[in-house]
Chains A and B, each alone.
Chain A
């Protein structure tokens, strides 16, 4: 096993594997990179959404006369006059969330639901008119209270993702266990909060619907819009050249649909940009979770029983499951093994995929519980994990493609100085601070989705790659240039990569850590074919020579296996028990995540994920007000994401781990960085203070209350 050092080149042939600055970097540092809201249009009109102020009920007929008379106002769309859309279809992710079908009826399923779009000549006029629009409601009682004891919780089920998986006699195995952990863990509602708000400009151009948009997959958006508006997909074009962060939130959303409606009605370009506050109700979020983990083990730490039960919420109109219990199906086996994802339906917006859906909250609970079990067994937490390393998939029984989680722990422990750690909690003081360290494992599935790509040999000797990929900040554009250059056997600067245009054909979205793997596969296939063609000799015609690829057959032929990326997270924290402040002092993550195409940007992806873990552990939490059903403090002052001062020196590195069945060896790195990070921090807080924190985020008031409880217990 060899390991690479951050920033240096791991052994690999060709361009990929060498650090390469982003090909669009000069545009990004000079402000010339155009994001969706930056592209100018002649005759542009501005749309502003008006959102419901009740959590449940019906919209009364909307009187628009006074607003239409306001300066610059061009139109007001609402359920009484909006174009019809069709939601009776199955898209890439199944049937659409009905909440994207805006203005189709008078129902209000949650607070902050779009009830109208006001279009005006300027954004100032549109905003004021949308705020002036009086919308009346027949209000109905609502229920937004999420808690573990909901009697109406249910297991949704479905053939593709069974929501309950079980084997063995859990009660019997727990009863015969020498050590038992039985605890509840909760994570709050969390929001993607990309820096770039969702923005779309729609227009009709030569009989074609065109969108300039910020999304994770332009072909995906085309397919959904075509179905919604009953159009042929070839008559819709979506472009999304630069995307200011997405994290799962940038699919089809109300603003694109509303923009298309307005552009259709007005027959001029209409832009709809969401405000930061609107993003809290219109772009999805991660459901809060209430998770119960029960572990039973022999005295030597070998698991006899493992149960992970997770409750999350969804809206009343669409089913989305935060599959937090899934991570246990990959990580640890036990004689009796039960995992269940359950749901409760409330009068809230529909949650959605958010960076490491399932694994992020699930790993917090499971990896915290493992740490508690290690404490009970008097075992080092890494040794406990080593003793429970499964031979095959605990639920599937399938072999692992590669599984290098222990190599990550070995390398990480060595570099973090884990061997010198005194396992006893609450004993390291530096002045008024308590210091502790913690660790946790990480895993995330590695998958590929069929995609198409085109590679063109140009007459000038250069090459152009065209693929409907999206670079949401992952460095995909650069990675694909490196992969293509390698497959073509040419220097990287001879390759131009064009992405973010649905006219380039069907391709996977930037999501599920599958984007770069899926796209690199298609690009490699086309580039290799082209290279063979060029090797036959002959001249390149003026239009170039283009080879297209489609990876459907190759991906369909993959044998079923447990294919995942892994990692080991390490964190050191300092806790001021007088003020409740927790600061992460250093973090190290070692990952086994397939071949790393571009170490420079890969490090950013992994470190960025770990910083999401810091943010999740200590800061992020959207507060929903039971009385109104609204998020209180729906902005960056109320919803804290980690600021620069919260982030210490965070290091990420990787061990060699090449996927044998992938033409490039990629597994995907977009999500693995966050998995286990919050647990490592929570475990470090326990090691520092001796108190387990099972509810995120670990806020100052929670530290202070725990200290009071402990002082009370001492006195009592």
Chain B
């Protein structure tokens, strides 16, 4: 390869270092899939419009299709293959499995990576577009179904598993905070707050 349009890089993926020579055009997504055989990260649109390729970069969720591999050097990347620890499914993975938070499964790795990071974002107190009062003086937003829906909207699911995805994320969130996952059979929310602009 022409050295002016390719680079030797090292990618840190799921705690392992991978040295490879990349064409600068190669996205992180394609490097994972075509070069490193980490095909759990899916290509749905290749344009940042579906979320199927979501991975964690330095712990934060990001679409890997708009990230150039060469620019991802030095970052800690976690993919769906790095979610389970010691053969034990991550609580989000287990909840998707138990509550059928998927159908065809193609958006699922992205949904799971997104949900894992989203729970961290929420725990850090980040507001969302449906948070009523974003000021720090206000109470931190509760992780209601409406909040989960908004925060998970960057992951399209064409099969329409959203209801079960919200149930799975609700359960995983409850396990994380040690509360009983009784928000599963959700009642329709308060009508005044359910519809947001």
Contacts and interface: CB of A to CB of B under 8 A. Distances in A.
A276 B107 contact: no
B113 to A, nearest CB: 9
A610 B164 CA distance: 13
Nearest to B130: A645
B84 interface: yes
A421 interface: no
Interface in A581-626: 581, 583, 585-586, 600-601, 603-605, 607-612, 615
Nearest to B22: A124
A539 interface: no
A30 B81 contact: yes
Chain B interface residue number, banded:
35 or more
Interface string B9-42: 0000000000000010110001001100111111
B26 A124 contact: yes
A245 B100 contact: no
A34 interface: yes
Nearest to B191: A430
A104 interface: no
B191 A31 contact: no
Nearest to A610: B160
A241 to B, nearest CB: 11
Contacts of A608: 103, 159-161
B138 interface: no
Given A21-B98, A636-B49, A34 B39 contact: yes
Interface in B128-166: 130, 145, 148-150, 152-153, 155-166
B26 A644 contact: no
Contact of B108 (A28, A124, A243, A641): A28
Interface in A218-246: 242-246
Nearest to A27: B105
A71 B98 CA distance: 48
B112 interface: yes
A31 B160 contact: no
Contacts of B130: 645
B192 interface: yes
Given A435-B191, A642-B160, A275 B46 contact: yes
A647 B162 contact: yes
B39 to A, nearest CB: 4
- The prevalent SS among residues of B at the interface is loop
B161 A197 contact: no
A246 to B, nearest CB: 8
Interface residues of A, number: 75
A197 B164 contact: no
A128 B25 CA distance: 10
Contacts of A603: 100
A706 interface: no
B66 interface: no
Interface in A53-78: 71
Contacts of B98: 21
Interface in B54-88: 79-81, 83-84
Given A28-B108, A607-B160, A643 B153 contact: yes
Nearest to A276: B45
Given A31-B80, A636-B47, A643-B153, A585 B195 contact: yes
A30 B40 contact: yes
Given A473-B103, A475-B103, A35 B42 contact: yes
Nearest to B152: A644
B49 A585 contact: no
A711 interface: no
B76 to A, nearest CB: 18
A31 B81 contact: yes
Nearest to A605: B103
Given A31-B41, A244-B105, A574 B191 contact: yes
B158 A644 contact: no
Contacts of B105: 24, 28-29, 33, 242, 244, 473
B81 A25 contact: no
Interface string B106-132: 111100100000000000000000100
Contacts of B84: 30
B188 interface: yes
A608 B163 CA distance: 9
A585 B160 contact: no
A40 B106 contact: no
Contacts of B39: 31, 34-35, 37-38, 40
A37 B29 CA distance: 13
Interface stretch (A83-91, A137-145, A188-196, A310-318): A188-196
A196 B104 contact: yes
Given A21-B98, A603-B100, A35 B106 contact: yes
B194 interface: yes
Contacts of B173: none
B181 interface: no
B42 A244 contact: yes
A7 B49 CA distance: 33
B149 A647 contact: yes
A635 interface: yes
21 contacts: A22-B97, A26-B97, A29-B93, A29-B105, A30-B80, A30-B89, A31-B40, A32-B81, A40-B37, A125-B23, A194-B104, A197-B44, A243-B104, A576-B197, A608-B160, A611-B163, A635-B45, A636-B45, A644-B149, A644-B150, A647-B163
Given A244-B42, A604-B159, 5 more contacts: A22-B100, A123-B30, A196-B104, A245-B106, A585-B188
In the A-B complex, the 5 residue pairs with the closest CB atoms: A31-B40, A244-B106, A473-B104, A611-B160, A608-B160
